[in-house]
Amino acid sequence: MRLLLAALVPCCALIAVTADIARGERTFPYKARITTDDVYVRSGPGQTYYPTDKLEAGQEVEVYRHDPGGWYAIRPPQGSFTWVSARFLRPGVDNLAVVTDDRVAARVGSAFSDIRDVIQVRLHKAEVVEVLDRKRSEADSGETMWYKIAPPSGEFRWVFGKYVDADYKHDGVRKTSAVEIVMDPPATTPAETTTPPDHPPAQDVPTDESPSVTVRPPADTVELNFGQQVAREISPEQYRAELERIDVELSVMVVEEPTVWSFTEMRPRVEELLDQAETAVERGLARAILSKIDRFEDLRRRYDKVNLARKQSERSSRRLSSLNRRELDEQPEPVPDDRYDGVGELTRVVSQKLGAPRYALVDRTGGVSCYVSPAPGVNLRHYVGQRVGVNGTRGYMPEQRAPHVMAQHIAALDGRRFR
């Protein structure tokens, strides 16, 4: 009995796989191709995730799973990259680097901006990564270094499944819904063509050596102001829903700091929808979003100007501070006042020798100009750390090779006086 069950299990699995193929389902991963131009690759399964790249018709992708909402997870296309902070990488040879900590964030990179908000994978300590490039960036906490690395294992990108086809013919023959092409017979043969009542008059495109081609726009084509015709493939409800999605994307973006704002992908989408508007209400909704984008772009420009002015001011302040310190260091020592037997900052002297002087006068460089001992009744403790002038009996200390003054009078030269 067990042998019979063991023989049936592979057969059942084979039947299930055969049924999946018959239904058009595929096992993952599988290879497919992009069916139209300018398809955005995104950092997550939805239009609220920032785009990372753009694919053209016929490009091959490797699909790893189908996510809700019609989004396909694909292997990162050629040219994709990921950001990692240089603090957690130790560069090696051959453009390789070793991760120096656990759970290091690998941030999905974009070819359109320096935004790096999405984290799919965290790297482990001692993991080896391939370094593609490096870049310095300035933040509020100061200048930091980031490394561009090849996307790590387990990291995906997403494209909308509508533009992915495993059976796509990439030999130049592509289906189109924008126009209907009717081949008329040669001129030598009488032909009758009728135009459906729901279509505008047909436009004849004659050729020299081939049958004439009658091009009829479909019924849902929208005619632009300059005569070009673009297919409107969505209903009014879908049109408004798309505008609302873009509006939400805009709101999510402007919550972040202005340095990561990027409207290069959003503006063309709104302008395309504006071109396809069928009513004044749709045009008004699209123009309202474009107006918002204009305002935020202006805010971004002003923010950049203020930030640049702040950085220039900080650099000027640092230069002035450096110059002031240099001028102070280069300032010559004041010429000793002839009224005093010794001038300088009074400093305590610690010595184990009996009878050694307990004080000294030092100049701006820290050198001893003379040693000082208080005469009876003179208190020098209150003047320690101040610039003073002393008068008294002058002498010389051979061991220290410096003058000595038995201070009888002391004067504070910084304005404070105790005696």
Among 52-56, 89-93, 106-110, 218-222, the minimum mean pLDDT is found in 218-222
> Is residue 320 situated within a structural domain?
no
Residue 326: C-alpha distances to residues 238, 320, 329, 332 (Å): 68, 10, 5, 12
The values of phi and psi at residue 92, to 5°, are: -125, -150
> Residue 202: pLDDT band by 50, 70, 90 thresholds?
very low
> Is residue 271 situated within a structural domain?
yes
User: Stretch 193-211: mean pLDDT, rounded?
Assistant: 40
> Is residue 290 situated within a structural domain?
yes
The values of phi and psi at residue 90, to 5°, are: -115, 105
> Is residue 92 situated within a structural domain?
yes
Residue 150 · residue 83 · CB < 8 Å: no
Q: How many other CB atoms sit within 10 Å of the CB of residue 213?
A: 15
pLDDT, one tens digit per residue, over 323-370 is 766 665 555 555 556 788 899 999 988 877 777 888 999 988 888 889
Q: Which residues does residue 39 pair with via DSSP β-bridges, in sequence order?
A: 55
> Is residue 120 situated within a structural domain?
yes
Boundary-marking domain end, from 155, 180, 203: 155
Q: Which residues does residue 121 pair with via DSSP β-bridges, in sequence order?
A: 106
Domain match, 93 and 145 both: yes
Domain match, 300 and 364 both: no
> Is residue 391 situated within a structural domain?
yes
pLDDT of 337: 61
Domain match, 292 and 357 both: no
CA distance 339 to 390: 9
Boundary-marking domain end, from 97, 129, 155: 155
pLDDT at 395 over 90: no
CATH number at residue 392: 2.40.50
CA distance 347 to 125: 54
> Is residue 418 situated within a structural domain?
no
pLDDT, one tens digit per residue, over 277-306 is 888 788 888 999 999 999 999 988 888 888
pLDDT, one tens digit per residue, over 1-45 is 444 444 444 444 444 444 444 445 679 999 999 999 999 999 999
**pTM higher than 0.75 for the full model?**
no
The packing angle between helices 266-275 and 236-255, to 10°, is: 160
Q: Which residues does residue 298 pair with via DSSP β-bridges, in sequence order?
A: none
Domain match, 307 and 370 both: no
Relative to beta strand 368-374, strand 402-412 is parallel
Which residues constitute the domain of residue 94? 82-155
Boundary-marking domain end, from 288, 311, 334: 311
How buried is 383 (Cβ within 10 angstroms: 0-12 exposed, 13-18 middle, 19+ buried)?
buried
| Number of separate domains in the chain | 3
Domain match, 262 and 304 both: yes
> Is residue 408 situated within a structural domain?
yes
pLDDT at 198 over 80: no
pLDDT, one tens digit per residue, over 172-187 is 444 444 444 344 444 4
CA distance 265 to 204: 37
Nearest to 376 by CA among 398, 330, 409, 400: 409
Percent with pLDDT over 70 in the chain: 73
Nearest to 117 by CA among 43, 67, 41: 43
pLDDT of 155: 95
pLDDT, one tens digit per residue, over 131-175 is 999 998 776 556 789 999 999 989 999 999 999 999 887 554 444
CA distance 395 to 398: 10
